Amino acid sequence: MLKRNAVAIAISSLFVASAVNAATIYKEENGDFLKLYGEVGVGGHIGANYNYGEFYTDQSFIDDSFATMGVKGKKDKIHYRLELDYERENWKYGTGDMVLAIDKVFLGYDILPNHYLEVGLADTAFDDYDKWGDFTFDTTVETGEAGDQDTTIKYEGYYFDVIKVGASYTYGGESSSGSELGDIVNGYLGYFGDSFSAVAGFEGRGGSDGLSKYGEQRLFGFGMRYALNDAIHLGVNAFYEEEDIALDDTTTDNTDPENVIKVYNDYQKQENKGALVSAKYIFTKQWEFTASYNYEEYEKWDRSSEVWDENEENNWGNSRTWGTLGVNYKPTRSSVITLEMNAGEAAQDAYAYARVYF
């Protein structure tokens, strides 16, 4: 659970808005182009439960407003992209403030037709597909892969028109709160047919060598979609993780109260797993209905485990289950209004959001 939920991936299952609605600044006959794109959204988590450890503060409503503006372009075989995000740090260990940050800045190169390299601050490879089998918006099982990372090199390629492969390497990765993760290797293999698609992903983390609580990690993920017909779509998503977390630390320098230096030790392996089944019903071009059933199990929740975290007291034991029902209304091709209701051991009662793309 190193990053906030990848809402953008869920939205991409509704429509690829940035590609459809980006404003073209120029486009040459040889294929070179420059486009401006972005999104503005307001909404948040309703009936949020702080004890679930997903939010920065104990409030019944957690604002989740968000905005993005970016430019992307191509010159011959070179691609480039700069993207700025304005978002609220509402996740665990976040500040709660609205902050402006560079989300992506990279250059890409077409090695061969259908084979591509990317270098810079970019999504790690599996980040694009870690929620592939989830049609819901924001309130479901989170795989917890590395997400966007600086100093990343990524390869993506297509084979036989239906197989896509991606792999990335990150030097000195960080969590969303800025904690050291160590080097990260990340990849996926996917099959994308007309009615059936499936993606399997992997992530390995080198660990922080005592600089943070995060040690080595191995993560496996899987997502699958199947279209019964044009209206009914089914999905499955799952992950299994082995993660070393430090149970102790030693202060080595506290002369600066705002920058206390610690060495983390006593790393213990924790096993975490989760899965969901989801469905989407396309009623009309404007209306969609979604549902999911979710299961999560984290070893630190287990009182009988050596790594039980007594600071994360809960009332669901070593695992939790919950359901989600949602409705998506798309008044235009470039906008969506979403409401999701939760039942069971969910971290909030509902999630409501509205976004407009340009």
Indicate the helix (H) or strand (E) that contains 44.
strand 33-46
Indicate the CATH number for domain 7-357.
2.40.160.10
Give me the long-range contacts of 93-100 (CB less than 8 A, separation at least 24): 93/56, 93/176, 93/177, 94/56, 94/176, 94/177, 95/56, 96/56, 96/57, 98/65
Assigned token pair, 358: 């340009």
pLDDT digits (tens, 9 = 90+) for 273-316: 999 999 999 999 999 999 999 999 999 988 888 888 777 667 78
User: pLDDT value at position 1?
Assistant: 39
Phi then psi dihedrals of residue 81, to 5 deg: -155, 140
Residues contacting residue 348 through CB under 8 Å, at least 6 positions apart:
45, 46, 47, 48, 49, 62, 139, 342
Q: How far apart are CA 199 and CA 95, in angstroms?
A: 34
Residue 10's pLDDT is what?
A: 40
Query: Rg of the chain's alpha carbons, rounded to an integer?
Result: 21
Identify whether the C-beta of residue 208 lies closer than 8 Å to the C-beta of residue 182.
Answer: yes
User: Residue ranges of the domains in the chain?
Assistant: 7-357
Q: Which residues neighbour 259 within 8 Å (Cβ) at sequence distance 6 or greater? A: none
Q: How far apart are the C-alpha atoms of 135 and 234, rounded to whole Å?
A: 8
Quote the pLDDT of residue 29: 87
For 64-104, the pLDDT digits (tens) are: 999 999 999 999 999 999 999 999 999 888 889 999 999 99
What are the C-alpha distances in Å from 100 to residues 68, 73, 79, 84, 103? Answer: 10, 22, 24, 7, 9
Give every residue of the chain whose pLDDT is below 70, as ranges: 1-21, 312-313
pTM: 0.88
Residue type for position 257: P
pLDDT at site 195: 98
Predicted local confidence at residue 20, as pLDDT: 54
Output helix, strand, coil percentages for the chain, rounded to the nearest 5: 5, 60, 35
What's the pLDDT at 5? Answer: 39
pLDDT at 21: 64
